[in-house]
Structure 1
Amino acid sequence: MPETAGRSSLSLRITDVHIEYELFAERRAALRQRFSTRTGTGRSVVHAVKGVSFDVREGESVGIIGSNGSGKSTLLAAIAGLLTPVSGEILVSEEPKLMGVGATLIPSATGRRNIRLGCLALGMSADRLDEEIDDIIEFTELGEAIDRPLRTYSSGMRARLHFAIATSISPRILLIDEALSTGDRRFREKSAERLDALLGSAGTLLLVSHSLSELQERCERGIWLEQGLLKADGPIDDVIERYSADDAPVVRR
């Protein structure tokens, strides 16, 4: 791994991490097998991350690239503590916060209620939430829809709500999974400005994105995952050049 001058403290240490998850041919088969032998033709195990190791130092911004199904999002979820590796070790200096488009919101709750629940889940105090909820709501630009159930929202409205919740805190270790890939063009530009401000206060960034230009703009270092394996680790421009020149077929999820 490349060393960066002037940076001695580690934010993350990933050591020989393996991550697996189960797939079932159908939901009924999944339930039957979970309560019986957990074996059979309906179940398969995906080895999503295979022995990945790297360090990230305080102040680094790292872009993670790879084709679909390469293990990028799975690795970020494990670093955030949402998945447990089957082997290996993940050490963090502070609790990482994952911002991504896949966080769970409650369909029956209003947008306002989802903001409250989401911000509290991220660790925001109730007093601070009372002070900031109006600004969070204003950022969404949802108007009176903020008091309607989430199930009535379009995908774009959901994206605005989720991004506003996810960026309501400023963690020292920030994990981003395709956070700017949702919403219309104007909202993406507005989100990018907010994200830049957030990154200014974050000590360490790991960013997963299919946008190579976004990675080059925000990251100094790149990590390339393919089929769960670490294929390259170095300056972002060098890693992108190797990734772009690769002839390997795309791996589907």
Structure 2
Amino acid sequence: MRELARRHLGKITAGVAVAAASAAVLLGVTLPGEAGAGDQTAAGSARQDAVPRDGVVEAAPKQGAKGVGRDPLTDDEIRRAEQIAVTSGGLRRSARDVDGDRGPQRLSTNLSEVDPTLTGARAAERRAEVVSYDYRTDTVVTRTVNLDTGKVENTDTAHGVQPPPSPGELREATRLLIANPLGAGLKKDYKDATGKQLTGPDQLETSGMVFRKETVAHVPGALTACGEHRCLRVVTKVRNGPWIDTRALVVDLSARTVGRLG
């Protein structure tokens, strides 16, 4: 039993301790000082069903093509802003996403803050801030799109900045983890729990966060580029089953490699 507990990856943890530790990093949650996976715009605009006091759930109201004032961006506005942001200035041709395909990896799209220098009709115009990641240059690209004029008003680029990961990045990180030799323990634990082979990310429930190397005492050589590179820690769970502890593994999405802490 003692030898089993020292398994190289960590035993399956169905108890409360890991569940509680992992719950804070579920998709869409950002820990203080950490970047959690999933932005509210990754699944569309922020719409919520109204729940009357009698407990009957009503359908969400229909969404117009264009919001008013400081209303959250509509689905149509999000799609339009992202299309404008990626086609302007040749970004679609030059950038690469997490899979290596043409075009940047979209991270988030949100309603822009009002520019205090603007007044009148200009201040009332609807603007969206589209944040994406170019894996060709390891650069965060933020573009402000004026939805009234259909033009990109501002573009900011930054190196070494790591916004919260997108669901697409989390999925690719999980795929790389499963395929890597360091993922052997994950696959073994999955087989122990289900009796089946783990072959892809769809078999798991996953969440994750950006790995910040300054939070650990010793950074292995394979992970020293994290921060400049896009690196994620993935939290895994068997669908409708136990958690599997993969917190010691870090996926470098830029280099498409996996490193182990400790």
The two structures have a TM-score, normalised by structure 2, of 0.27
The structure that has the greater radius of gyration is 2
Give 1 or 2: higher strand fraction: 1
Give 1 or 2: higher helix fraction: 1
Larger relative CO (CA 8 A, sep 6+): 1 or 2?
Answer: 1
The two structures have a TM-score, normalised by structure 1, of 0.28
